[in-house]
Amino acid sequence: MSEKYKIDTVGVIGLGYVGLPLALALVKSGYDVIGVDIDEQRVNQLQNGSSYIGDISDAEVSRAIERGFESTTEYNDLRQVDGVSICVPTPLRKSGQPDVSYVVDASERLTSILSEGCTVVLESTVYPSATEEVIAEQFEENGWEVGKDVFVAFSPERIDPGNEQYGVQDIPKVVGGVTEPCGDHAVALYEPVFEEVVRVASSSEAEFVKLLENTFRGVNIGLINELAVTANSMNIDIWDAIDAAATKPFGYMPFYPGPGLGGHCIPIDPQYLSWKAKQHGLETRFIDLADRINRQMPKHVVNEVTALLNKNGLPVLDSEILILGAAYKADVSDTRESPAIDIIDLLQERGANIKYHDPHVDKITTREWRLESIPLTTGLLQEQDCVIIVTNHSDIDLSIVVECSSLIFDTRNATGTFSEQSHIYRI
């Protein structure tokens, strides 16, 4: 690395599902890394060598500390860093507008402490032009010339929690600078870390890449969810149909139905693009339709379960229902936007008695209620009027679930090998 792009110490702001894996990858690549998070509990855990993310072990945190990894709640500790990666949350407001307040806060705090020549890369998902409008303009207003005094870029996070095939460093890293020198500096920061760095023309183009990836997934999941409902009305097994279609070696890519979208990316990212398009007077009809279909899936699940209970002579009122899986996807502990929460809400509104089991999620707390995961036993299963499989965790023994349950509604095709069982129904 030339002296022009010399980067030794990197700060990572936000040590969640994105920031902590990135921080440890930077450490492995030889950087001195300072992680900043406003959550004191997280920082205390890290300082004690303890991980709070399923994909990262305590041993990995301890090894990073041995190599010099520091964690703190103080932004002032970033005064001398050569680079900063911002990995803070970017949720949607109830109005559907992007909430970039955490990004604004991070950039405002950085403005007064940045050292000259620092490279700042935003990794949080935002709408196109946000890096320039929120971060670069903030720095410019405070006397920094972007592209000369400081360097600003966007690089979308692509971490897939629970994916054992692709770790954070294996996934190609897309980078786009606000200016060409900004892109040069960001590439220099990330090239020692990732197997491949993909340079695009601008920060706005890099922002669009992330939204494109997840909008593609969201729209196709919306399509297959609609087809699943359609197939069910025709007494056609959608799962068998998907498997058969997937035998075509070209022109088809399988997507799978489910109880609704979860996680931070797929339910949220397309709405960022839709919102920005509306600022340009455009209507994103595919995005909006797919969003409506996907958000209706929890209600579809509850309607199907209600109909099955009625078929068995049972009202949903006062029925005993067990939810298997609260996380938004298999083998992770993340419950952000999990459809399980919506399903529980809807069933409780109809008067059902709800319990849940999830080996990765100890408790779920919303504004309305709090539930704790209970042990999965034969006795518990035998007491239930219906078991709803919402998340297909690999460490749940489905053979026991099938054997001991009187009625199962499977939203993930987890019981596909038991499809001959008459008490199992699939979405």
Per-residue pLDDT of 246-285, as tens digits, reads 999 999 999 999 999 999 899 999 999 999 999 999 999 9
How is domain 259-426 classified at the architecture level of CATH? 3-Layer(aba) Sandwich (3.40)
One-letter-per-residue 3-state SS of the chain: CCHHHCCCEEEEECCCCCHHHHHHHHHHCCCEEEEECCCHHHHHHHHCCCCCCCCCCHHHHHHHHHCCCEEECCHHHHCCCCEEEECCCCCECCCCCECCHHHHHHHHHHHCCCCCCCEEEECCCCCCCHHHHHHHHHHHHCCCCECCCEEEEECCCCCCCCCCCCCCCCCCEEEEECCHHHHHHHHHHHCCCCCCEEECCCHHHHHHHHHHHHHHHHHHHHHHHHHHHHHHHCCCCHHHHHHHHCCCCCCCCCCCCCCCCCCCCCCCHHHHHHHHHHHCCCCCHHHHHHHHHHHHHHHHHHHHHHHHHHHCCCCCCCCEEEEECCCCCCCCCCCCCCHHHHHHHHHHHCCCEEEEECCCCCEEECCCCEEECCCCCHHHHHHCCEEEECCCCCCCCHHHHHHHCCCEEECCCCCHHHCCCCCEEEC
**Domain extent listing, the chain:** 3-201, 259-426
**How much is the pLDDT for 164?**
83
**How much is the pLDDT for 210?**
97
87, 182, 265, 386: which is the annotated catalytic residue? 265
**How much is the pLDDT for 6?**
80
**How much is the pLDDT for 3?**
57
pTM greater than the 0.85 cutoff: yes
Strand order in the sheet with 386-389: 353-357, 320-324, 386-389, 408-410, 424-426
Catalytic residue flag (residue 265): yes
From the candidate CATH numbers 3.30.70.20, 1.20.1050.10, 3.40.50.300, 3.40.50.720, the one assigned to the domain spanning 3-201: 3.40.50.720
* Positions in the chain short of pLDDT 70: 1-3
Amino acid at 304: E
**How much is the pLDDT for 264?**
86
Distance CA 70, CA 46 (A): 9
**How much is the pLDDT for 2?**
47
Decide if 3-201 and 259-426 have a common fold: yes
